[in-house]
Amino acid sequence: MRPLLILFLLITTAVYAQTPPKPYGALPTKRQLAWHDIEVYGLIHFTPTTFENKEWGFGDADPKTFNPTAFNADQIVKAAKAGGLRGIILVAKHHDGFALWPTKTTSYNISKSPFRSGKGNLVKEVEQAVRKNGLKFGVYCSPWDRNNALYGTDKYLAIYQAQLKELYSNYGQLFMSWHDGANGGDGYYGGAKEKRSIDNTTYYDWNNTWGITRKIQPMANIFSDIGLDIRWVGNEDGHAAETSWATFTPMAPDGKNVAVPGQANYPQSPEGIRNGKFWMPAECDVPLRKGWFYHPTEKPKTPETLFDLYLKSVGRGAGLDLGLAPDKSGQLHADDVAALKTFGDMVKHTFTNNLAKNAKLKVSNTRGAKYSANTLLDNNKNTYWATQDDVHEATITISLAAAKTFDIISLQEYIPLGQRVETYTIEVFENNTWKKVYDGTSIGAKRLIKLDAPVTTNKVKISITQSPVCITLSEIGLYKKTN
Ligand code: FUL
Ligand code: CA
């Protein structure tokens, strides 16, 4: 070959090697990427229903019953923050229809209660405490309204949309707009006390209603059982399936595609759908106690249980949304504060010390210097190791300077380029041989693998065994669970 040709080939290979891999499948939006960073957040339920000791208010509670003796948004938010929560969604109106802000849309609101002598705005107080403590804020405004006399008629939608507009316009940037599929039934309805049913495929005109969300709050992730941005995981137990895809195609049980909540393919919600049409990661919502509202006889989950749920939600590429229920005083019970703090410390203490930090990495293939193995341990999820386009299987060997004991392995894909890896195995070097400790399927935003028992070794091998395209991984880690 002529020298010039060789030079040309060398340059093109080098340039090619530095071009990023092509994206694969459905991709996250900027809004969803910001949501993935939050990982754990809270959902506060606190309305007249708290004072009735119920889970679903009928819509007939006297506003005067809403009378917390010591409401303190800062106490709630600080406890959440100590638990590692990075966002708070406030239920601004639950199914009982009582609005926690002085809305113009219904007289059934906080101004009719003794709270701050009828001058209070609980949404504002929570929002301010949330921002002061550096968390993100979101709202949940129930479409079903068991108080409103007009619910079920064609006049209600305008009221609901006006409520959303008020919430979207006066409380700064929201990270989530949370919607559920609860859709009519019996209620007070202005005194009618009857059963009202609606056709949930048309009644809320979700296309246009969520158009309002997009227009006023473009960074708010819309949550419902079908997405649009974040899908319900399909249970209220707080975990995704072991195999967990961020991609999804909402479908009704009859297999038809749908675009309204309340009809999604729940059987596939915990796992997601490989090569689904949309990037629509799961939110695992679960109350800290048994119910979403405070009940004196219930107790918060133990920190161990919460840690396990963390591994099975965040550790499966999903989000963990923890229900927080202030008691009648308007604060979180001391038991809840303690459980959150111990859980938060567990997560912090476990994951601050990546035992692989100074390890030597050997990878079987690399795309070029920019995508080298060093990117796997720089604690920056925007840098990533990638293989060449035609390399869909690869190994990473982690060599530690001295043997370490760990029981959690963490893997992260570079999700701006999609969810790519399908299967992988993890082996540890023990008694002079490689021993398989895990057979894995999906990775996604984050995969936390908890081993049955801690292992002590100085060598770990991660083998990506199946991917339809070249591999990207942004971070890896070895951790020892620490209380
Ligand atoms: C559900 C509601 O019916 C529950 O009361 C609670 O608010 C939960 C978070 O969402 O759809
Ligand atoms: Ca990195």
Nearest Cα residue to 331 out of 128, 75, 53: 75
**Distance of alpha carbon 399 from alpha carbon 357, whole angstroms:** 11
Ligand nearest to the CA of 376: 2
Whether 346 and 365 map to the same domain: the answer is no
pLDDT at residue 10, as a whole number: 53
For residue 478, report the distance from its CA to the centre of ligand 2, in Å.
15
The mean per-residue pLDDT over the stretch 256-279 comes to 80
Q: 283-303 pLDDT, tens per residue?
A: 999 999 999 999 999 999 999
Residue 152 neighbours by CB distance under 10 Å: 19
Question: Over 90: is that where the pLDDT of 81 sits?
Answer: yes
> Structural domain of residue 214, as residue ranges?
30-351
Ligand nearest to the CA of 291: 1
Q: 321-347 pLDDT, tens per residue?
A: 999 999 999 999 999 999 999 999 999
Residue finishing a domain among 331, 351, 371? 351
Please state, for a pLDDT cut of 90, what percent of the chain lies above it: 89
Whether 229 and 283 map to the same domain: the answer is yes
Say which CATH number the domain at 468 has: 2.60.120.260
Instruction: Let me know if residue 332 belongs to a domain.
Output: yes
pLDDT at residue 258, as a whole number: 63
The mean per-residue pLDDT over the stretch 251-263 comes to 65
Whether 338 and 386 map to the same domain: the answer is no
pLDDT at residue 64, as a whole number: 98
- Render 406-459 in DSSP notation, one character per residue: EEEEEEEE-GGG-----EEEEEEEETTEEEEEEEE---TT-EEEEEEEEEEEEE
Instruction: Let me know if residue 381 belongs to a domain.
Output: yes
Question: Over 80: is that where the pLDDT of 7 sits?
Answer: no
Question: Over 60: is that where the pLDDT of 14 sits?
Answer: no
Residue 171 or 15, more confident: 171
Q: 406-439 pLDDT, tens per residue?
A: 999 999 999 999 999 999 999 999 999 999 999 9
Question: Over 90: is that where the pLDDT of 236 sits?
Answer: yes
Say which CATH number the domain at 135 has: 3.20.20.80
The mean per-residue pLDDT over the stretch 144-170 comes to 98
pLDDT at residue 1, as a whole number: 53
Instruction: Let me know if residue 23 belongs to a domain.
Output: no
Q: Which two tokens stand for residue 27?
A: 């991709």
For residue 75, report the distance from its CA to the centre of ligand 1, in Å.
23
For residue 381, report the distance from its CA to the centre of ligand 2, in Å.
4
Whether 123 and 229 map to the same domain: the answer is yes
Of 16-20, 159-163, 204-208, where does the model show the most confidence? 159-163
Question: Rounded mean pLDDT of the chain?
Answer: 94
Question: Over 80: is that where the pLDDT of 254 sits?
Answer: no
Q: Which two tokens stand for residue 384?
A: 């990533």
For residue 204, report the distance from its CA to the centre of ligand 2, in Å.
43
**Distance of alpha carbon 264 from alpha carbon 181, whole angstroms:** 10
Question: Over 60: is that where the pLDDT of 449 sits?
Answer: yes
Pick from 50, 145, 285, 292 the residue to mutate for probing ligand 1's pocket: most ligand atoms within 8 Å of its CB. Answer: 292
Q: Whose CA is nearest to atom 8 of ligand 1?
A: 292
pLDDT at residue 4, as a whole number: 58
Cβ proximity of 317 and 420 under 8 Å:
no
pLDDT at residue 319, as a whole number: 98
Instruction: Let me know if residue 19 belongs to a domain.
Output: no
Residue finishing a domain among 297, 322, 351? 351
pLDDT at residue 163, as a whole number: 98
Whether 36 and 170 map to the same domain: the answer is yes
The mean per-residue pLDDT over the stretch 45-61 comes to 98
pLDDT at residue 256, as a whole number: 67
Cβ of 180 less than 6 Å from ligand 1: yes
Q: Is the dihedral of CA 63, 168, 155, 250 positive or negative?
A: negative
Question: Over 80: is that where the pLDDT of 13 sits?
Answer: no
Instruction: Let me know if residue 17 belongs to a domain.
Output: no
Lowest mean pLDDT among 16-25, 81-90, 120-129, 154-163: 16-25
pLDDT at residue 127, as a whole number: 99
**Distance of alpha carbon 400 from alpha carbon 142, whole angstroms:** 52
Instruction: Let me know if residue 377 belongs to a domain.
Output: yes
What are the residues whose beta carbon lies below 5 Å from ligand 2 (ion)? 375, 378, 380, 383, 474-475
Whether 334 and 442 map to the same domain: the answer is no
Cβ of 225 less than 6 Å from ligand 1: no
Whether 293 and 321 map to the same domain: the answer is yes
Instruction: Let me know if residue 22 belongs to a domain.
Output: no
Strand 278-279 to 472-479 pairing: unpaired
Please state, for a pLDDT cut of 70, what percent of the chain lies above it: 94
Whether 337 and 388 map to the same domain: the answer is no
The mean per-residue pLDDT over the stretch 50-70 comes to 98
Ligand nearest to the CA of 414: 2
Return the beta strands (E) in 228-339 as ranges: 230-232, 247-248, 278-279, 282-287, 319-324
Instruction: Let me know if residue 53 belongs to a domain.
Output: yes
Q: Whose CA is nearest to atom 4 of ligand 1?
A: 292
Whether 339 and 376 map to the same domain: the answer is no
Residue finishing a domain among 329, 351, 373? 351
Domain count, the chain: 2
Q: Which atom of ligand 1 is nearest to the CA of 285?
A: 9
Whether 389 and 246 map to the same domain: the answer is no
pLDDT at residue 164, as a whole number: 98
For residue 431, report the distance from its CA to the centre of ligand 1, in Å.
52
At 259, is the pLDDT very low, low, confident or very high (cuts 50, 70, 90)?
A: low
At 209, is the pLDDT very low, low, confident or very high (cuts 50, 70, 90)?
A: very high
Pick from 180, 235, 284, 293 the residue to mutate for probing ligand 1's pocket: most ligand atoms within 8 Å of its CB. Answer: 180
pLDDT at residue 253, as a whole number: 63
Q: Whose CA is nearest to atom 6 of ligand 1?
A: 292
Whether 109 and 222 map to the same domain: the answer is yes
Whether 92 and 55 map to the same domain: the answer is yes
